[in-house]
A and B are shown apart, each in its own frame.
Chain A
Amino acid sequence: MVSASPPPLLEMRGISKQYPGVKALDDVGLTLERGEVLALMGENGAGKSTLMKVLAGAVRPDAGAIFLDGTEQQVTSPVDARGCGIAVIHQEFNLVPALSVRENIFLGLEQTTAGFVRRGDERRRAEELLRRIGVAVHPETPCRRLTVAQQQAVEIAKALAVDARIIVMDEPTATLTPQEVEKLFAVIADLTQQGIGVIYVSHRLDEIEEIADRVQVLRDGQVVAVRAADQLPRRELIELMVGRSLEEEFPSRRQSVGEPRLVVRGLCRGDKVRNVSFEVRRGEIVALAGLVGAGRTEVVRLIFGADQAEAGHVALDGQVLSIRSPRDAIRAGICLLTEDRKHQGLILSQSVLHNFALPNAAHFVAAGRGFTGWGFTGWIDQQRERDAFAGYATSMRIRANAAAHPAGTLSGGNQQKVVLAKWLESNSEVLIFDEPTRGIDVGAKVEIYGLMNELAEQGKAIVMVSSELPEVLGMADRILVMHEGRITGEIADPAAATQADILSLAIR
């Protein structure tokens, strides 16, 4: 009898999961070999996170089974998953900020003798793990003092501490600088050499091309393709994810740039923003590029009034503005889509309609029946609100009946669309987008790019803060690069520029 090749490290067979109203997973299978990096791709809502939740024991599937090394395992809780050697590193880390690195690594697995923690043992083991990953962090440092990249390393150390054989990484590079990404890839290569299997969930097509051995694509809860990474060209990958061919990743537009509209002069705030000046012209998209921590978000928050500038001023259409709060900025015609839509862009507990109407109260106050005592009272015409939102729901392809549901129940892409709708309704003349497509799938990204182009064509002034260099090069009319609070350079012709050009300015 010929001996068969050893069974795969992980095999998920026939996984199905039904939620009220939607079939999240329909007979989905997944195989992972030892030492392999499998990229799991798909639009938001395709079923990736549900599948990973099933693997992690957080969700019980309606049907299907999980096999590890050929034997079926019952993974009914996260504790089971950990016991089987499955570790998941989420996009939002599960670290307790006030506790030290060592305490976080051994949270729930404390090495104790008669109830007392053996700190020396833990420390030694923590140092060993951190060395394996190649990060220089003292085990007693509280996690809140670590950079994002270091925190991610601690999460990996946690996985190794439980002798994980399968590590799932969910959007691991969203908040990393390019150098840190390279470091992470080196760590992943190291892990795979030791026989650990990695499932890599990400929207960043460039990274997939670099790191993945195989690619599995999900769409609408079903598996549509499983191929070796080098046999799946980018265009085809996008088509498989979206289910239709996308003409271009970055829609083109007629460029007709006019006179300067937004003029920023001499903005200062501590050492985060040092004498920043720039202009944005009518119909222009200006990108602010740079590494994480360069001060880009701080600059746009100053323009929007979210923080107080210590010096400098902002002028729109020739008029110097006095902005002391976001409310002033909105009234002046400036709006900001924050980078953290969950905690700054939306009030998750309130309905979508409520969120949509919040900065636009003046539009929906019934004429003649409002009384503005302190400027913030007024009788709301709820029908007009609903109609206005329905208009955006159709044109932006948001689920129509979403209006009454709490904003927290929507998917990431839909949430971003609601935030966009909210600001579009405000008819601002200057729109500032901070990481507009972070965590958004390819299909929704193209829609958002299309909207940005439309706004530019209408003559608005658009500022886009982005860490995704392809996006910056593809969308911007001009690129301003920042480093440590200053603008270090300007790229006036992005079409002719490369990612290296931006990076060289970003690390000066």
Chain B
Amino acid sequence: MNADTPAALMPRLRHMGATVLADHGMLLVLGLLCVFFSIVTLDEQTPVGGDAAGQLVRRLSQISDEPKQLVIVAGRGSDEDAFVSALAEGAATAGWSVAGISQGGPRDARMSLEAFAATDRRVEVIALSASAGAWGVFDGLESRLPAFADATLLRPEPTRWPNFLKATNLLNVANQIAVIAIVAVGMTLVILTGGIDLSVGSLIALSSVTGAVCIRDVCGGQAAGTAGMVVGAAVGILICGLAGVLSGGVVTLFGIPPFIATLGMMLVASGSAYIIAEGQSINQVPDAFVWLGRGADLAGLPNAVVLMLVLYAAAHIVMSRTTFGRYVYAVGGNAEAARLSGVPVRRVMLAVYVLCGLLAGLGGIVMASQLKSGAPTYGQMYELYVIAAVVVGGTSLSGGEGRVLGTLVGALIIAVIQNGMNLTGVESYTQKVVLGLVILAAVLLDRLRSRRG
């Protein structure tokens, strides 16, 4: 039979399609969700600030080549300031001269326009910001102030673009999920060995509190320098690493099931956080502390997102290219067979619990940085979202199967769904129901996929 006949091609195509779906199914789901929310949040976007100015400058050049005069009218606020300065600069570059600027309310605009008309200078264009353009003072301007009879009113034109895909929104999505995603790296490792760590939510609280208390009491409080903040953060993270040593030790040395061991640690860590913080929220930290959680130094990407991406890249490389990564998969696949092949099973298991603790501690510091304080109430229920991200990303709870990058996709899926529901105005209680159903559906899809293959 000719291998290229249509009859032979179909099974081959189907097999190829199934492989692609099997390997990257969750990525496809993420893509479909983004497309869905883009369609659903398609809206008229009116540019503001620098973008609006840019648009108007382009249209200035279309109106006339010769230098002409224009008046700028805008409201108050940072967007309006940006609009005014960008437009002034752009107009000057285009050869226009700015005859006057009015920033304020509708009455200020009317008064300055009347004053301007009295000066008898010709103005070709009145450039309005989006908010100013809505004021009623410009209706019937030609009749009231004949000096402006020939003037063109320039307002920014709206475009159609999904609210979901706005840069600010996407960065917001990534920033919201950063803490969960960072902690999920460690959780992926633990679940890959066939274990689980229920204490990460409490560890987030513990590290935020310990870091903040350390900064407040030892490193100078609000006057702490960079070194002081780093030390405080390190202490918070290391305390959680210690918790990981304890959890992992109990699991490997005494054979206690990870569920129970980390459940106990969850309560111990949470209680300890309340004790250390004396039940309060601790905010005696310097302003610069928010650099990690709210800063955006690298090309506008939030620092927390950059940290998240770096961690995932590193984890992916370690898991796929080093012997440690291999050992983790081996232990999860069949711990006894791994032991009989020379894998140091207990050391590997201890290591993943320590790493999970350290990463939960890092997540807690990021959260403290985002909220400029540490509190024992942070991170409540986070262990469930973290586990959801890992499972939705394709990692099996029985161990030995799954990829770190899959967890990133899982975390993004959760974030996109939450964000999409916010944008479409779904009520917050309903959101919880939807999220739960989505997680079930994702895992079901995963099971069907792997059973077929």
Of B330, B340, B342, B343, which one neighbours A344 at CB under 8 angstroms?
Answer: B340
Chain A, range 430-447, C-beta contacts under 8 Å to B: none
A117 contacts partner chain B, Cβ-Cβ < 8 Å: no
B304-348 CB contact bits vs A (8 Å, 1 = yes)?
A: 000000000000000001111011011001101111111110011
A276: B residues at CB distance < 8 A: none
A336: B residues at CB distance < 8 A: 340
Q: How far is the CA of A355 from the CA of B340 in the complex (A)?
A: 12
Q: How far is the CB of A23 from the nearest CB of chain B, in Å?
A: 13
Chain B residue, CB-CB nearest to A382: B321
Contact indicator A376/B330 (Cβ below 8 Å): no
Q: How far is the CA of A20 from the CA of B340 in the complex (A)?
A: 34
B244 contacts partner chain A, Cβ-Cβ < 8 Å: no
Asked if A327 meets B330 with Cβ closer than 8 Å, knowing A347-B400, A377-B322, the reply is: no
Contact indicator B337/A380 (Cβ below 8 Å): no
B326: A residues at CB distance < 8 A: 354, 357-358, 361, 380
Contact indicator A344/B336 (Cβ below 8 Å): yes
B124: A residues at CB distance < 8 A: none
Contact indicator B327/A344 (Cβ below 8 Å): no
Contact indicator A422/B322 (Cβ below 8 Å): no
Contact indicator B400/A327 (Cβ below 8 Å): no
Asked if A358 meets B338 with Cβ closer than 8 Å, knowing A376-B348, A380-B322, the reply is: yes
Contact indicator A348/B333 (Cβ below 8 Å): yes
Q: How far is the CB of B254 from the nearest CB of chain A, in Å?
A: 17
A231-249 CB contact bits vs B (8 Å, 1 = yes)?
A: 0000000000000000000
Q: How far is the CA of A350 from the CA of B329 in the complex (A)?
A: 8
Q: How far is the CA of A298 from the CA of B340 in the complex (A)?
A: 14
B401 contacts partner chain A, Cβ-Cβ < 8 Å: yes
Asked if A350 meets B323 with Cβ closer than 8 Å, knowing A345-B337, A374-B347, the reply is: no
Contact indicator A346/B337 (Cβ below 8 Å): yes
B166 contacts partner chain A, Cβ-Cβ < 8 Å: no
Of A331, A347, A365, A378, which one neighbours B333 at CB under 8 angstroms?
Answer: A347
B351 contacts partner chain A, Cβ-Cβ < 8 Å: yes
B11: A residues at CB distance < 8 A: 20
Q: How far is the CA of A306 from the CA of B321 in the complex (A)?
A: 28
A354: B residues at CB distance < 8 A: 326, 329-330
Of A331, A358, A382, which one neighbours B343 at CB under 8 angstroms?
Answer: A358
Chain A residue, CB-CB nearest to B339: A326
Q: How far is the CA of A326 from the CA of B326 in the complex (A)?
A: 17
Interface size class of B (residues with CB under 8 A): 20 to 34
A325 contacts partner chain B, Cβ-Cβ < 8 Å: yes
B337: A residues at CB distance < 8 A: 343-347
A326: B residues at CB distance < 8 A: 339-342
B341: A residues at CB distance < 8 A: 326, 355, 358-359, 422
A318-343 CB contact bits vs B (8 Å, 1 = yes)?
A: 00000001110011000010100001
A379 contacts partner chain B, Cβ-Cβ < 8 Å: yes
A349 contacts partner chain B, Cβ-Cβ < 8 Å: yes
B340: A residues at CB distance < 8 A: 304, 306, 326, 336, 338, 344-345
Most B-side CB within 10 Å, residue of A344, A347, A348, A380: A347
Contact indicator B342/A343 (Cβ below 8 Å): no
Interface contacts beyond A306-B340, A349-B401, A378-B322: sample of 11 additional A-B pairs, CB < 8 Å, sorted by A: A327-B343, A331-B342, A343-B336, A347-B330, A347-B338, A355-B341, A358-B342, A365-B323, A376-B343, A376-B344, A382-B321
Task: Supply 11 A–B pairs (Cβ within 8 Å), ascending by A.
Answer: A20-B11, A304-B340, A325-B339, A326-B341, A338-B340, A343-B334, A346-B337, A347-B337, A350-B333, A358-B338, A376-B343
